[in-house]
Amino acid sequence: MEAKIERIKYSARLMMGLSGLMAVLMLIGCFACIAEAVINREFAVQAAKSAGNAADCAFYAATAFTALRLLGNIVSMGTPFGEKNDKLIKAIGIITLIQGFASPAVRASLLGILHADVTYTSNSALLFTGMIILFIAKIFSYGQILQQESDETL
């Protein structure tokens, strides 16, 4: 049991590094896209596309920050089934689902305002991923009950 927890902690630390890097990169990407939109403000369609990319980056950054909190919880508590972890996973799932709907909507509505030829299509891969993450959150809730039982027995 201890060896497994150590392996989980080790991989959680590795993932924390990756999530941190992703969060920082996405924040930089978000600001870069906003700057690009401002620079290209005279070319309205290009600026609208940049604004859509900025929204995408913001969603990815939010996901990465939530993942960072989740992984931090796992490392500090010493168990993946700690309190609030299922809620954090649920939050990641909801953010991913919203991104699947909202991000193409932002892009389509901005381009629509500019009378550009555009059709709204939701990002099916993100919607699917979001649903899988919500499913994993349910399993984590069950794991939390098992962890509580185990702690109470000891």
For the CB of residue 7, give the shortest distance to another protein in the complex, in Å.
6
Is 28 a binding residue for another protein by CB under 8 A? The answer is no
For the CB of residue 47, give the shortest distance to another protein in the complex, in Å.
24
**Is the distance from CB of 54 to CB of 35 less than 8 angstroms?**
no
**Is the distance from CB of 45 to CB of 114 less than 8 angstroms?**
yes
Choose between 106 and 137: whose C-beta lies nearer to another protein: 137
Choose between 6 and 114: whose C-beta lies nearer to another protein: 6
d(C-alpha 71, C-alpha 69), whole Å: 6
For the CB of residue 139, give the shortest distance to another protein in the complex, in Å.
5
Helices (H) and strands (E) in the chain, counts: 4, 0
d(C-alpha 125, C-alpha 151), whole Å: 38
- For another protein, which residue of 29, 35, 81, 95 counts as binding (CB under 8 A)? 81
**Is the distance from CB of 108 to CB of 118 less than 8 angstroms?**
yes
Is 139 a binding residue for another protein by CB under 8 A? The answer is yes
E strand intervals along the chain: none
Contact residues: another protein, CB under 8 A: 1, 4-5, 7-8, 11-12, 14-15, 18, 22, 79-81, 128, 131-132, 134-136, 138-139, 141-143, 145-147, 149-150, 153
